[in-house]
Amino acid sequence: MQSNGTVQEQNHPASAQNGDANGLQSNAGSASGASGTGSGSLKKKKRLSQAEEDVIRLIGQHLNGLGLNQTVDLLMQESGCRLEHPSATKFRNHVMEGEWDKAENDLNELKALMHSPSAIVRMKFLLLQQKYLEYLEDGKVLEALQVLRGELTPLKYNTDRIHVLSGYLMCSHPEDLKAKAEWEGKGAGSRCRLLDKLQSECTTTHTHIYRSDSLLSPGGQTGELRTKMSQSHEDSLTSVAWNPDGKRFVTGGQRGQFYQCDLDGNLLESWEGVRVQCLWCMADGRTVLASDTHQRIRGYSFEDLTDRNIVQEDHPIMSFTVSKNGRLALLNVATQGVHLWDLQDRVLVRKYQGVTQGFYTIHSCFGGHNEDFIASGSEDHKVYIWHKRSELPIVELTGHTRTVNCVSWNPCIPNLMASASDDGTVRIWGPAPFLDAQEQDGLNESCSSMDS
């Protein structure tokens, strides 16, 4: 399949209330002022809505990608918007230059622009981790040890990871370090990946519920914010799933929150101490599947507060999705790739080859006729497609220039698929006539052999 177009995407929409900068792509406040008319009278500039600012920012980002910098400057000047908050720009530059002390100071300026104070701690941890690894690669063991003991450990964050990092002190040479840490080494590449991770931390810690009257469009139409819920200022809610009845939803995060709520955001039930990575509500309306920090998926019933183990992996489960019939689960497993599990028999069915999966959260999906195919993004910037019964990919789609985080198969058009990437684009792939002859022959041959 080949891309038939790209759409500029903003991964983390800005807060509609405070004009906060959500991460490195921030929104500046609307500007109001006066502009002259032909008759010399003054006309007050219209105050832009949040939706209008978002549209202008998306247009600006797209124009910037086309190299139309002067047009972007004029657009931002006239609208009163900015593509990025100055503090975020300075922070990114310091990260790319490896000026870690300055980057840490920049975080203090960014602190006021975020909803969650805990995001700053996580971002500082990521910065110090990169600083520590670069010191080790340069042979500066004493400096690395000081970062580990004097800066990382006092954060009291992710102690398991700190134990892993301490083991890298025993690496005898840089190549050994890179292999054990699964790290590409000091330089622009790893620092760009660091920025990707920092960006992913800059999300709101509230769960928003929108009524889907319409989608964001250049016409300025937006969904209406119905309600907003947060049980505690310490909540860090990173996953949500609807109950099939459409009247309840579950949400949770890696700090131990796990709630079931109604449409008004009222807490119906809670489950203590479950550190949630990803959620899925089963069709029975009672069972909720949750992957957690113990590398497993468990089934939870909020009705009688019972739970049971269903899947146990040896590595962290970054995300998972379930087939329409509820029988199969597709897992993206850190450092392992894409795994297919039978939820009823609780067995690993197949491991799909080709995809590059580290510790990024990548979402795969079922798709095609009868969900016979599987697709996944990858850290090598590609989209991979497999037939469900074959471990080897039948198609590798190229075009993105950064990690592909998510793929989604069109539920009505079996040969149409979308992919979202850290390169800031959403690509639409298909249909089959757009394949080149070699890819089409390979796909047809694979499909025929699997169906026979």
pLDDT at 122: 86
Q: Which CATH entry fits the domain spanning 207-451: 2.130.10.10, 1.10.540.10, 3.40.50.300, 3.40.190.10?
A: 2.130.10.10
Q: What is the pLDDT, as a whole number, of residue 177? A: 94
pLDDT value, residue 305: 82
Distance from C-alpha of 380 to C-alpha of 295, rounded to nearest angstrom: 24
CA distances from 159 to 121, 166, 183, 359 (A): 13, 10, 19, 17
Cα of 355 vs its chain's centroid, Å: 17
* Three state DSSP letters for the chain: CCEEEEEECCCCCCCCCCCCCCCCCCCCCCCCCEEECCCCCEEECCCCCHHHHHHHHHHHHHHHHCCCHHHHHHHHHHHCCCCCCHHHHHHHHHHHCCCHHHHHHHHHHHHCCCCCHHHHHHHHHHHHHHHHHHHHHCCCHHHHHHHHHHHHHHHCCCHHHHHHHHHHHHCCCHHHHHHHHCCCCCCHHHHHHHHHHHHHHCCCCCEEEEECCCCCCCCCCCCEEEEEECCCCCCCCCEEEECCCCCEEEEECCCCCEEEEECCCCEEEECCCCCEEEEEECCCCCEEEEEECCCEEEEEECCCCEEEEEEECCCCEEEEEECCCCCEEEEEECCCEEEEEECCCCEEEEEECCCCCCCCCCEEEEECHHHCEEEECCCCCCEEEEECCCCCCCEEECCCCCCEEEEEECCCCCCCEEEEECCCEEEEECCHHHCCHHHHHHHHHHHHHHHC
Report which of 367, 377, 365 is spatially closest to residue 412, judged by C-alpha positions: 367
**CA end-to-end distance (rounded Å), the chain:** 23
Domain ranges across the chain: 87-201, 207-451
Whether the Cβ atoms of residue 318 and residue 360 lie closer than 8 Å to each other: yes
Phi, psi of 199 (to 5 degrees): -60, -40
Predicted confidence at residue 424, as pLDDT, reads 87
| Residue found under tokens 């950064």 | 402
**Closest to 14 in 3D by CA, of 195, 203, 200:** 203
- Determine how many CB atoms are found less than 10 A away from the CB of residue 419: 24
CA–CA dist 55, 387 (Å, integer): 38
Q: For the chain, 452 residues long, give each residue's pLDDT as a single digit of tens.
A: 544 443 333 333 333 333 333 333 333 333 333 334 444 444 456 677 766 776 787 787 677 767 787 888 888 888 887 766 667 778 888 999 999 999 988 888 777 666 566 778 888 999 999 999 999 999 999 999 999 999 999 998 888 899 999 999 999 899 999 999 989 999 888 988 888 778 666 543 333 533 333 343 334 344 566 666 666 656 678 889 999 988 899 998 888 888 898 888 888 888 888 889 899 999 988 899 999 989 999 999 888 888 999 999 999 999 999 999 999 999 999 999 999 999 999 999 999 999 999 888 899 999 988 899 999 999 999 999 999 999 999 999 999 999 999 999 988 888 889 999 988 899 999 865 444 444 445 444 444 444 43
pLDDT of residue 77: 85
